[in-house]
Amino acid sequence: MRDIQASDAKTHLLQILDEVERGETVRITRHGRPIARIVPEANRRQAEIDKAIANIKALRRHTGKITVEEILSARHEGHNY
């Protein structure tokens, strides 16, 4: 969770809403005291999760099983260590 001053929240509202849409919770403060909290909509987030799980299951039906090594390789693909 991230804290932001009320005056900054007013200036950067659209950016804050983008963060909340991505799952972040933002707490609004005034003079260092919390006054409000902006949280992601629970139903919308659950719908996204359900859709992602359905997509993964459909993909697995077409591709078959993969090994842990293949998963880790794909996860690290493109990383510069």
Strand partners, 3: 27
Mean pLDDT for the stretch of residues 12-33: 94
Q: 20 CB contacts (<8 Å, ≥6 apart)?
A: 26, 38, 39, 40
Cβ(23)–Cβ(16) below 8 Å: no
Q: 16 CB contacts (<8 Å, ≥6 apart)?
A: 4, 9, 26, 38
| Number of H-type helices and E-type strands within the chain | 4, 3
30-81 pLDDT per residue, tens: 999 999 999 988 777 788 888 999 998 888 888 877 888 888 888 888 777 6
